[in-house]
Amino acid sequence: MIVRANDEISSPQAPVTPAMFNVLLALVDGEKHGYAILKEVAEQTQGGVRLSTGTLYGIIKRLLAEGLIAESRTRPAAERDDPRRRYYRVTEAGREVAVTEAVRMEKLIARARAKRLIKAFRPA
């Protein structure tokens, strides 16, 4: 990992986009098929991020090529499965990239709070 003068963190892969980060985040807690990824991203962002299927599958193609996700070999029971679905899981490299990106964002938020740009988060 390389830290540049402008505080950006560089990893062997190109930086992930916010949409890519959301896909990685959706897969961190378990394998999912494309539609389940779309639903989770929309739910977790309260509708703030809505990926089209074309965008999602472009992201999946890139994450597969970079080794950040892999197609799963395990499948649900036949009565709960659709044979057309492909299931994806995050790889160890994908988890590391997601952690690096989350830490980078956390540091940016801390700086914004220190400058009183935003208030400290207080759970309800």
Q: Can you tell me the distance from the alpha carbon of 64 to that of 104, in angstroms, rounded to the nearest whole number? A: 23
Provide φ and ψ at 59, rounded to 5°: -65, -45
pLDDT tens for residues 58-91? 999 999 999 999 999 877 676 777 778 899 999 9
First to last CA, the chain: 36
pLDDT of residue 78: 65
- Domains of the chain are 2-114 (1.10.10.10)
pTM for this entry = 0.80
